[in-house]
Structure formats: structure tokens, C-alpha cells
């Protein structure tokens, strides 16, 4: 597999459009298309940006050796989610921080409450 194929694989595995992927690494969809077709090779700074933005193993991106993704740093769920959401969301960050502190029993209670809330909301919206 060539680098062009690895770049496309990253994008596909993250389920991102060319437009979204390109925006996240600071380029355009047209430039990304050139990378994915092999018409152009990304510069070292673009490769570095891809690796930092998507937690990609630089060795894998350059050579195909090793794992595609690096293990995110401990407690990096918020950063990873922010990348996928495309923005920093303080409400989401607060939720994740609070949820992470819950013990398994309390997480279960929260999930059950959330499901009950959604069912009640659905019933009320059908009455409208």
C-alpha cells in the first residue's frame, strides 16, 4: 500500500468526507484529492499535521509499518471527540469529565435515566 492509499484509509476509517478531512488538516479538498490519487505528495508539515490531528502513527503513514493509529494519551477522549465533532464543545467536555469520574454503578444509573428520558420525550412529542 502506498502513502496515497494510507491517507485515504485514514479518512475512510474516520468516516470523514474529503472536505471535512481537508479542513481539519488546513488544506482544501482538491489538494487532498491530489494526495489520495498520488498526483502530489504531502509535505512533512502536512504529514505531521495529519498525525497530530488524527492520532496517526507517522511511521505507518510514511512506510506502512506499525499500527495506523497511535494510542491516544490517557484521558484524551475529549480531544478525540472534539476532532470528530469538528469543534470544541464546553457542554460535551463537561459531560465527559463528569461521566469519567462516575463509578460503573452510577454510569449504569445515568444511562438508564437517559433512556427513560428519551422514551418520555418521544411519547410527549407524539402527542404534539
Quick one: pLDDT at residue 85? 65
pLDDT in tens, 14-51: 888 999 999 989 999 999 999 999 999 999 999 999 99
Quick one: pLDDT at residue 127? 73
Domain spans of the chain? Answer: 3-63, 77-127
Q: What is the DSSP string of 6-50?
A: HHHHHHHHTT--HHHHHHHTTS-HHHHHHHHHTSSPPPHHHHHHH
pLDDT band, very low/low/confident/very high, at 61 (cuts 50, 70, 90):
very high
Mean pLDDT of 43-63: 92
pLDDT band, very low/low/confident/very high, at 72 (cuts 50, 70, 90):
low
Question: Is 0.95 surpassed by the pTM of this model?
Answer: no
Mean pLDDT of 2-18: 92
Helices (H) and strands (E) in the chain, counts: 8, 0
Quick one: pLDDT at residue 73? 57
pLDDT in tens, 82-112: 666 666 677 777 787 788 788 888 889 989 9
CATH superfamily for domain 3-63:
lambda repressor-like DNA-binding domains (1.10.260.40)
- Contact between 40 and 47 under an 8 Å Cβ cutoff? The reply is no
Q: Sort residue 38 into left (φ over 0), alpha (ψ -120 to 50) or beta.
A: left
The angle that helices 3-13 and 29-37 make with each other, rounded to 10 degrees, is: 130
- Which tops the pLDDT comparison, 98 or 66? 66
Cα-based angle 33, 36, 83 (whole degrees, multiple of 5)? 80
Amino acid at each position: 500500500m502506498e502513502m496515497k492509499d494510507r491517507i485515504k484509509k485514514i479518512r475512510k476509517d474516520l468516516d470523514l468526507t474529503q472536505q471535512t478531512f481537508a479542513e481539519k488538516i488546513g488544506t482544501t479538498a482538491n489538494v487532498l484529492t491530489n494526495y489520495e490519487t498520488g498526483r502530489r505528495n504531502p509535505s512533512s508539515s502536512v504529514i505531521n499535521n495529519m498525525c497530530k490531528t488524527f492520532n496517526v502513527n507517522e511511521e505507518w503513514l510514511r512506510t506502512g509499518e506499525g499500527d495506523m493509529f497511535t494510542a491516544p494519551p490517557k484521558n484524551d477522549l475529549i480531544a478525540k471527540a472534539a476532532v470528530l465533532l469538528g469543534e470544541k464543545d464546553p457542554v460535551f467536555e463537561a459531560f465527559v469529565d463528569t461521566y469519567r469520574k462516575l463509578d460503573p454503578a452510577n454510569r449504569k444509573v445515568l444511562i438508564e435515566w437517559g433512556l427513560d428520558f428519551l422514551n418520555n420525550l418521544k411519547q410527549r412529542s407524539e402527542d404534539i
